[in-house]
Amino acid sequence: MDAGAYAGLSSVVLQRSIFSVCGVYDIPNLKVTGKAYATNNIVTGAFRGFGGPQAFFAIEMHMAHIATELRVDPLEWRRSYFLKKGDTSSTGGVFHSDIKLAEIADAVNRLSNYQEKHSTLGSDKSFWKGIGCSFFFHGCGFTGAGEAELLKSRVKLKKYADGTVGIFVSSTEIGQGALTTLRKIVAETLEIPIAQTKLTYPDTADCPDSGPTVASRTVMIVGRLLQECAEEVKKRWTEETFEVVKDYVYPEHLSWDSEKLAGNAYPEYSWGANVVEVAVDPVTYEVETKGVWAVYDIGTPIDEKIVQGQLEGGIMQGLGYAAMERLQTTGGKLMQDSLSEYLIPAAVDFPRIAFELIDNPYSGGPFGAKGLGELPMIGAAPAFAAAVEQAIGKKIDRIPVTPEYIRELMT
């Protein structure tokens, strides 16, 4: 990993990347070595997915290449190696919850008609056509014992005499709808209108430290603590004014060895699949995305509109990462230093996304919810690249897959 001039968060980004490198597959014999190097390039930082997109691009393209070499259906090839409940992760932790990858595969194939299209798409006189799939997960919460030892999250609710309830957390709103979701969790638990909840701006003078708004943890970790707080408030509802504080307790059935990086790397996982269909112009090598399909297991969604926004935004970001976003440095200087040079997708660049959610409640989350924020970013790039790969008949091993890169492959 190119860490740039300073270490920053490179070590923990690298950790999540190496923990993800075996993908959603049961690989009994595994050895992973990762290194972060100091270079004269600009310092790098955290990015949505936090090391996951890089690792899943590698393993999913590798699986696609194997399927091509074996001349087998890529989806069925993957299916035979899917993880299931009771299997162990790359760090040796046991997956204690149901893993519905087979159901996810069935659903994304039904939505996209992937298998039939994959067997028939190819080149014609006007366009080269292809379709690709990817399967992926994202560990929710801080890596290893971070939630228990580093963060030690705390939340507070205050019931007022007028029947309103104040919510005190350090979680911040950055457009993802987290605070609305937290209010809904409290209101639903107390069986009161959401208008009766008040969220206090996260000021250290008033709010306990519930941890940062990162790592797909806010709903699953902070939301669960607020649900537990609200359950106690509900029992004491007849009292006029009082406060209830809850601290995070690390699940007893999980363990983590920080020295050996062994055990349960994350409290729980969200799972997903993407399919992308493309058409490549054989003259200009421009890629048109014809269809995007997604199926996710995020436990039980709290607010489906917010989920849809996160899902669509994350996939769009992942497709931009796959098709056009590029950072280059020359002599330590960033070449794309403005939005004139650093291209990002607009709404017109990709079609409407069709999606479906798989119901798989997580007992440790509020109303069964798991994390979502980073999951949609992870699978778009390998699905897009695999689709272009089928369309042009050349192996792709890096992103972004630009017209210039395709021209390089075709000549």
46: exposed, middle or buried (Cβ count in 10 Å: 0-12, 13-18, 19+): middle
Q: What is the pLDDT along the chain (411 residues), one digit of tens a residue?
A: 889 889 888 999 999 999 999 999 999 999 999 999 999 888 887 789 999 999 999 999 999 999 999 999 999 999 999 999 999 999 999 999 999 999 999 999 999 999 999 999 876 668 999 999 999 999 999 988 888 888 889 999 999 999 999 999 999 998 899 999 999 999 999 999 999 999 998 999 999 999 999 989 999 999 999 999 999 999 999 999 999 999 999 888 899 999 999 999 999 999 999 999 999 999 999 999 999 999 999 999 999 999 999 999 999 999 999 999 998 888 888 899 898 899 999 989 999 999 999 999 999 999 999 999 999 999 999 999 999 999 999 999 999 999 999 999 999
Residue for token pair 């990462």: 321
Q: How many CA atoms lie within 13 A of 77 on its CB side?
A: 18
Distance (Å, rounded) from C-alpha 103 to C-alpha 160? Answer: 46
Taking residue 363's Cβ as centre, other Cβ atoms within 10 Å add up to 11
Taking residue 52's Cβ as centre, other Cβ atoms within 10 Å add up to 26
Query: Taking a C-beta distance cutoff of 8 angstroms, is the pair 376, 314 a contact?
Result: yes
φ, ψ at 68 (rounded to 5°): -65, -45
| Cα maximum dimension of the chain | 77
Q: What is the pLDDT of residue 305?
A: 95
> Hey, what amino acid is at 103?
E
Please state, in angstroms and as integers, the Cα–Cα distance from residue 378 to each residue in 109, 139, 339, following that order: 19, 12, 23
Per DSSP bridges, beta strands 256-257 and 268-280 are unpaired
Distance (Å, rounded) from C-alpha 374 to C-alpha 310? Answer: 9
Taking residue 259's Cβ as centre, other Cβ atoms within 10 Å add up to 5
Reduce the DSSP state of residue 220 to 3 states and report it: helix
Coarse DSSP helix, strand, coil percentages of the chain, rounded to the nearest 5 percent: 35, 20, 45
Distance (Å, rounded) from C-alpha 62 to C-alpha 176? Answer: 32
Nearest to 354 by CA among 49, 105, 53, 108: 108
Does domain 2-143+261-410 sit in CATH 3.30.200.20?
no
> Hey, what amino acid is at 189?
T
Q: What is the CA radius of gyration of the chain?
A: 22
Query: Comparing 2-143+261-410 with 146-247, is the CATH topology the same?
Result: yes
Please state, in angstroms and as integers, the Cα–Cα distance from residue 68 to each residue in 62, 109, 116, 134, 198, following that order: 10, 18, 16, 14, 55
The CATH number of the structural domain formed by 146-247 is: 3.30.365.10
Q: What is the pLDDT of residue 339?
A: 87
Q: What is the pLDDT of residue 146?
A: 87
Token pair listed for 10: 């490179």
Q: What is the pLDDT of residue 123?
A: 64
Beta-carbon contacts of residue 78 (< 8 Å; ≥ 6 apart): 24, 25, 63, 67, 105, 133, 135
Distance (Å, rounded) from C-alpha 376 to C-alpha 225? Answer: 25
Distance (Å, rounded) from C-alpha 230 to C-alpha 203? Answer: 21
Domain ranges of the chain: 2-143+261-410, 146-247
Distance (Å, rounded) from C-alpha 355 to C-alpha 296? Answer: 8
